[in-house]
Amino acid sequence: MNDQHDPDQLAAYAVGLLEGEDARVTGAHVAECAGCRRELAELRELDGALRGVPAELFLDELPPDGELVLQRTLRQLRQESGARRGRRLALVAASVAVLVGVGAAGVVIGRGSAGETITDETEAGSRQLTGVNSATGAKMAVTLTPESGWVRVRATVNGLSVGERCMLVVVDRRGNHTTVSSWVVPPTEENYRVDSGAAVAPKDVAAVKVQNFEGRELVIAPA
């Protein structure tokens, strides 16, 4: 990642395709760049909505002008906020579904807020992991969903210190670490949600953990 805010690299980071040094560098940049954090949040919310669309129903390519329509709508989204932006984002997901030839019924987008209990719907074959740091009170609930050669990671984290720069990391059975997300703990959200993925075979996941940028482990959920 550089000062030009590479959109392709940010998109790859949003869906967990970056690994190693690329993921670390991009995560560090996102933690310092408010614009990229907003862009990353938009990408992840849209990605989460599109995951509900069956892959076999996607067309090989968008119809004429389809991509331009989406780009224009996303630009408009960046100028909005709050509930109106949330409603518009749902409409974007619906528009994408229409463009690829499917209905958008059942697509729901949300974000956790203080005091809200968050429960992810369990999909077939998913594994539920939990972790607690008894010393700090930090907690994490993780849903791992097998995909074709990779794993979808949905995590809800709370109890972290406001302002802490964090990374969500998948650890495989060989000890390799794959960073799937990074963020700065906000003061206004008790539950922080991550919906991303890691290029790790589902059966190889040994743990999911949150650590800070200095490498200190904050909470871990063993598999």
Helices (H) and strands (E) in the chain, counts: 5, 8
Handedness of CA 223, 12, 104, 99 (dihedral sign): negative
**What does the alpha-carbon distance between residue 96 and residue 45 come to, in Å, rounded to a whole number?**
13
Q: Where is the domain boundary, 99, 114, 142?
A: 99
Q: Where is the domain boundary, 99, 116, 143?
A: 99
Same domain, 40 and 94: yes
Beta partners for residue 193, in sequence order: 156
Quick one: tokens of 78? 């960046």
Residue that the structure tokens 């790859």 belong to: 12
Same domain, 23 and 82: yes
pTM for this model (two decimals): 0.51
Quick one: tokens of 7? 């959109």
Non-local CB neighbours of 54 within 8 Å, separated by 6+ positions:
102
Number of domains in the chain: 2
From first to last of the 223 residues of the chain, give the pLDDT tens digit.
Answer: 555 567 767 777 776 667 778 888 888 888 888 888 878 777 776 666 555 544 444 444 444 444 444 455 455 545 554 444 444 444 445 444 444 444 333 333 334 444 444 444 455 678 999 999 999 999 999 999 998 889 999 999 999 999 999 999 999 999 999 998 888 888 876 788 888 888 899 999 999 999 999 999 999 999 9
Same domain, 94 and 142: no
Is 96 within 8 Å of 70 (Cβ atoms)?
Answer: yes
Give me the domain span that covers residue 81. 7-99
Handedness of CA 174, 122, 183, 196 (dihedral sign): positive
DSSP state of 70: H
Same domain, 12 and 81: yes
